[in-house]
Structure 1
């Protein structure tokens, strides 16, 4: 994944790389970027409602995909700033260049806010911070979260009143996963987290600036491929083709394919960045159908306008590669 801040305060591109990390190191107060698991909400109030996080195609609750911590240091209202991306887990909702199965929300806070210390977190102390189930199911602000997805949970179990959900669908999932056996009318029983097979695998995302310096070969010469801005010259195979085949190939070539080739050359400089291969880490492939996309592009307000503690919906574009690129 390449992250390019779309405001005048930040220039350049940062690349994201996934790393395995303990869940307690990815809590909200550590201000990390991450993939999968439950969202580490920034503002602990004003969360998106369940209806706002439903897929626009099938109407089912979306799953948390990733979050990117992207503060704007010289903008006081954006001292803390995170973008949260959610996606549908119904493979039937994924069609070519259709973004309706994705949602993205931005949250930002000034340095002095209602939820976090003014001083930065101490990374060395993260190992001593272990999340309990109650901390995962309820924010420090008192907002209760869905036991299945970790999003806002305004509904509660009518029997024990201790389990919260974003929707009837997730209440049913939790009931079948084991809450039915643990639920009790007599008190707070069975609030431990169950394995619902709904969340994506969780990873930390570490970022570093993209280095576009051209690398030299062993003889000190700049590699020719790094200087190319268009298609490479014809190979011996192309030279052996007849005029008719070459003409057909020229007609088939498009601006889109040139852009895709440029994209491949640029990402090849850092092949471990997660834009081309995040799906591999999520392990969502199946023989018949799969969650899929080429590139997800998020556009946020250029001014990062202040919305207080509320989460602001932003625009996400799903781009898929054409069949001729496969």
Structure 2
């Protein structure tokens, strides 16, 4: 669950305005069909409204919870209760209800005025191809590999030519300069490794590897240590399960003039023992990391 307000993402704290919950349903349950949906050819590229995924239980058009109540006029729009049905009626369903009754597709679309739900998409899961040594353009043993790029060298030459480098450094002692240079070098290396790792599949929105290889970070800053990850309420340790990539922001339709919600990566840690009986939602731990100021 994520707040839509951009200002909330600037608040201090590792979690930000985000919560993550775990629910483990058995294959036979009252919410989703036992068998996966049939394979269908990819849709055409014509722009359409973002639709809910078909199949399974009817969900409320306002909040996405189970929707046992349906509109008495079109018998297609589902709601969790009368409050959200009235809210949706006032905010747009009144005008589109006739289209639903006539069999239009808009009944399955998330309303544009919806203030709760993001668009839903099918997620295609594929294993990551192992990286060969020749795929990497940066030598991990070369500490300058991530920063001594042609652009960086050109900027250094320009600074030397104008003398601005010397003027800018006059007020800083040598020890401070060395510390700053080392920090910038490490930051560039971390971000360069992130870019190279995702370059093979630049559209990826989730990386899943429960209990295996850890996340790939976008920055060397604000990375958690083991002591920062709280244990589950059952007492078991939490382990890395998946991370959400910044590319997902391109699909959430949250851009606005002036500001928008943002993150570098969201990393989710869950109970190593999978506690719970499957009939409840258990809160897990999420860590929000932003891009460093120097990442580009």
Q: How high is the TM-score relative to the length of structure 1?
A: 0.50
1:281 equivalenced with 2:251 (yes/no): yes
Asked whether 1:177 is paired with 2:92, we answer yes
Q: Does structure 1 residue 101 correspond to structure 2 residue 17?
A: yes
The residue that corresponds to 1:164 in the other structure is 79
How far did residue 228 of structure 1 move?
Answer: 4.4
Name which structure has the greater RCO, CA cutoff 8 Å, separation 6+.
Answer: 1
Deviation at 1:123, TM superposition (A): 4.0
1:214 aligns with 2:128: no
Match for residue 250 of structure 1?
178
2:266 counterpart (275, 296, 319)? 296
Which TM-score applies when normalising by structure 2? 0.54
Match of 1:269 among 197, 206, 209: 197
2:254 is paired with a residue whose SS is coil
1:292-317 deviation digits (Å, cap 9, x = unpaired): 11211111111112322322221112
Specify the SS of the correspondent of 1:299: strand
CA 228–172 in structure 1, closer or farther in 2 if over 3 Å, else same = farther
Q: Is the 8 A contact 1:173 1:196 kept in 2?
A: no
2:140 is matched with which residue?
227
For the 8 Å contact 2:263–2:290, the answer to whether it is kept is: yes
The structural deviation recorded for 1:102 is 1.5
The separation in 2 between residues aligned to 1:203 and 1:111, in whole angstroms, is 21
The secondary structure found in structure 1 opposite 2:10 is coil
Unmatched segments (≥5 aa) in structure 1: 1-85, 128-134, 184-190
- The answer to whether the Cα contact below 8 Å between 1:94 and 1:291 also exists between their aligned partners in 2 is yes
Partner of 2:230: none
Q: 2:2 aligns with which of 72, 87, 103?
A: 87
SS state of the match for residue 132, structure 2? coil
User: 5 Å matches for 1:1-326?
Assistant: 86-98=1-13, 99-111=15-27, 116-117=33-34, 121=36, 123-124=38-39, 140=57, 145-152=59-66, 164-165=79-80, 168=83, 171-179=86-94, 192=107, 195-198=111-114, 199-216=117-134, 223=137, 225-228=138-141, 230-232=143-145, 234=148, 236=153, 237-238=155-156, 240=160, 241-242=165-166, 244=170, 247=174, 249-253=177-181, 258-259=186-187, 261-271=189-199, 272=202, 273-274=204-205, 275-325=245-295
Seen in structure 2, the aligned counterparts of structure 1 residues 136 and 113 have a Cα distance that, compared at 3 Å, is closer
Residue 211 (structure 1) shift: 3.9
Q: Give the deviation of 1:290 after TM superposition.
A: 0.8
**How many Å apart are 1:283 and its aligned residue?**
3.5
Flag the 1:112–1:147 CA change in 2: closer, same or farther, 3 A.
closer
User: Per the alignment, in what secondary structure is the counterpart of residue 125 of structure 2?
Assistant: strand
Higher Cα radius of gyration: 2
SS at match of 1:296: strand
Instruction: Report how many residues are paired.
Output: 217
- Which structure: greater strand fraction? 1
Supply the distance in 2 between the matched residues of 1:167 and 1:148 (Cα, whole angstroms): 11
- CA RMSD of the aligned region, Å? 4.5
Shift of 1:177: 1.0
Give how far 1:230 is off.
4.0
Gaps of 5+ in 2: 42-51, 99-105, 206-244
Of the structure 1 ranges 158-167 and 287-296, higher mean CA displacement relative to structure 2 is found in 158-167
Cα deviation code 1:80-128 (max 9, x no counterpart): xxxxxx21222332224543522212122445666654xx64744x57x
